[in-house]
Amino acid sequence: MNDPVLAQRAKVADLVSKGMRAGSALYVIASVVFFVGFMTGFTDTMVTLIVAMLIIGSLLLAPAMVFHYGVKAANRADRNDDW
């Protein structure tokens, strides 16, 4: 890519993809730990782990979603040439 804007947008899109994957994975793991705790009895460690994963997952997912829509909008504006 010769265009620095497109190169930067591709880097942001890559980071967004990684952030969404990591945040979603943390949510899935937190859900699994929750159901294991529900079936076997919660321990303090399990509760702490679940809460920590939900907080970290949220901190990863929220900005990733915002930037995801920003990258999509920028790509659409480039395609339609309606800046």
pLDDT band at 68 (very low <50, low <70, confident <90, very high): very high
How far CA 29 is from CA of 38, 64, 69, 74, in Å, comes to: 14, 19, 25, 33
With tokens 């945040």, the residue in question is 23
Q: What is the pLDDT of residues 24-37, one digit of tens each?
A: 999 999 999 999 99
Query: What per-residue confidence (pLDDT) applies to 1?
Result: 58
Q: What is the pLDDT of residues 1-56, one digit of tens each?
A: 588 989 999 999 999 999 999 999 999 999 999 999 999 999 999 999 999 999 99
Query: What per-residue confidence (pLDDT) applies to 18?
Result: 97
Helix (H, G, I), strand (E, B) or coil at 26: helix
With tokens 């899935």, the residue in question is 28
